[in-house]
Amino acid sequence: MTTPDVLFETARLRCRRWVATDLEPLLAVYADAEAMRFVGDGRPITRDECARWLEVTAANYARRGYGMFALESRPAQVRNAGGAPAEPATVVGFCGLVHPGNQVQPEVKYAFRRSHWGLGLASEAVPALLRYGAAAHGLAHVIATVAPGNAASQRVLRKAGMRLDHERRNDDGSMTLVFAWRAGEAA
């Protein structure tokens, strides 16, 4: 994780591998209770957990060639919620293809700084991430999981060409919606 390899770009975003200096941006997103409301168990993660995640991601790069990635604003292309231009190369969020619990199917994950919510950045990043996964890694079937109450993420996934595949009951009795994407389908 020593060089920020650029994996793909969109009109407003640059996607690259994580580097050690991403610890602070990780904390800005994943230690935010509101941003984590629909992620995992809904609890923010600590600095130590973020540091460990950097290590896990480096192992995923070595094992699979992919994992979680940083999303940087392209200079003068992204404005924050107040309408001001974002800083050049500011990490505005994260996205990736992961295998939680060593599940077989790769799964789309993403999260953004709250100051960049509602700008259409997830709708821009997810289809590009799916295309990248198919082209660079031969991923022909990718899933995404989302809480039934997270209407915004459901819209993002549908815009990316993902379709609701099934509902899954979790160990705690809650439900998760499982969306699926297959290469060659409209994205």
Domain definitions of the chain by residue range: 6-139
Q: What is the mean pLDDT of residues 112-138?
A: 93
Query: Are residues 145 and 153 in contact, defined by beta-carbon separation less than 8 angstroms?
Result: no
* Contact by Cβ (8 Å): 111, 29: yes
Pair 94, 70: CB distance under 8 Å: yes
Is residue 2's pLDDT more than 70? no
pLDDT of residue 4: 56
**pLDDT, tens only, 20-58:** 889 888 888 887 777 766 666 667 788 898 899 899 999
Which residues are registered as beta bridge partners of 175? 169
Give 101's contacts (C-beta < 8 A, 6+ positions apart): none
pLDDT at 80: 62
| Euclidean distance between CA atoms 137 and 133, whole angstroms | 5
Out of 1.10.760.10, 3.40.50.720, 3.40.50.460, 3.40.630.30, select the CATH number for domain 6-139.
Answer: 3.40.630.30
Contacts of 61 (CB under 8 A, 6+ apart): 1, 17, 67
pTM: 0.86
What are the angstrom distances between the C-alpha of 52 and each of 3, 44, 144?
19, 14, 23
What number is the average pLDDT over the span 132-137?
Answer: 96
Residue given tokens 């009795």 in the structure block: 173
What's the mean per-residue pLDDT of the chain? 87
Residue 21, CA distances (Å) to 57, 62, 82, 90, 161 in order: 14, 19, 26, 12, 33
**61-117 pLDDT tens trace:** 999 999 999 999 987 655 666 666 555 568 999 999 999 988 999 999 999 888 888
pLDDT digits (tens, 9 = 90+) for 18-28: 998 898 888 88
**Helix/strand/coil for 168:** strand
